[in-house]
């Protein structure tokens, strides 16, 4: 089994459960420790498509596939979340929750 792109690449195949792009993202709240309520707020913004930057616009919503078990409320400064969706999530500060930051760490696309 090869890992990587090109000849012999084993990607997500039809029937693997991955139907859209899978994004691994790291979220935070501006560098300080993040509370459970802040993480819940970010997840709510991502799953509903509600944006704080333009409240009259609903952006793409995502399905949260998982949250890394390395998050500890009130001491972790970030959390790693796996999201399923079409377009890449916004990296605009405060897009999904007040002062939240988001960076896309990895993107996986289903292969035919």
Residue 3 pLDDT > 60: no
**4 assigned to some structural domain:** no
- Cα 53 from Cα 92, distance rounded (Å): 8
**36 assigned to some structural domain:** yes
Determine contact, residues 109/21, Cβ cutoff 8 Å: yes
Task: Give SS3 for 57.
Answer: coil
Collect all residues with Cβ–Cβ distance below 8 Å to 105 and sequence separation of at least 6: 24, 25, 26, 80
Domain that holds residue 72: 21-108
pLDDT digits (tens, 9 = 90+) for 68-112: 989 999 999 999 999 999 889 999 898 899 899 999 999 998 876
At residue 82, the pLDDT reads 95
At residue 52, the pLDDT reads 74
pLDDT digits (tens, 9 = 90+) for 51-64: 777 666 667 899 99
> Chain centroid to CA 99: how far?
16
pLDDT digits (tens, 9 = 90+) for 7-52: 444 444 444 566 789 999 999 998 899 999 999 999 999 999 877 7
At residue 110, the pLDDT reads 80
**65 assigned to some structural domain:** yes
The count of domains in the chain is: 1
């Amino acid at each position: 089994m090869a890992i990587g792109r090109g000849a012999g690449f084993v990607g997500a195949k039809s029937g693997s459960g991955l139907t859209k792009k899978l994004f691994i993202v790291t979220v935070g709240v501006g560098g300080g420790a993040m509370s459970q309520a802040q993480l819940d707020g970010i997840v709510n913004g991502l799953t509903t498509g509600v944006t704080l930057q333009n409240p009259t616009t609903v952006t793409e919503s995502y399905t949260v596939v998982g949250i890394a078990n390395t998050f500890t409320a009130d001491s972790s400064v970030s959390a790693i979340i796996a999201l399923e969706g079409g377009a890449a999530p916004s990296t605009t500060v405060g897009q999904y929750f007040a002062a939240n930051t988001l960076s896309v760490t990895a993107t996986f696309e289903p292969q035919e």
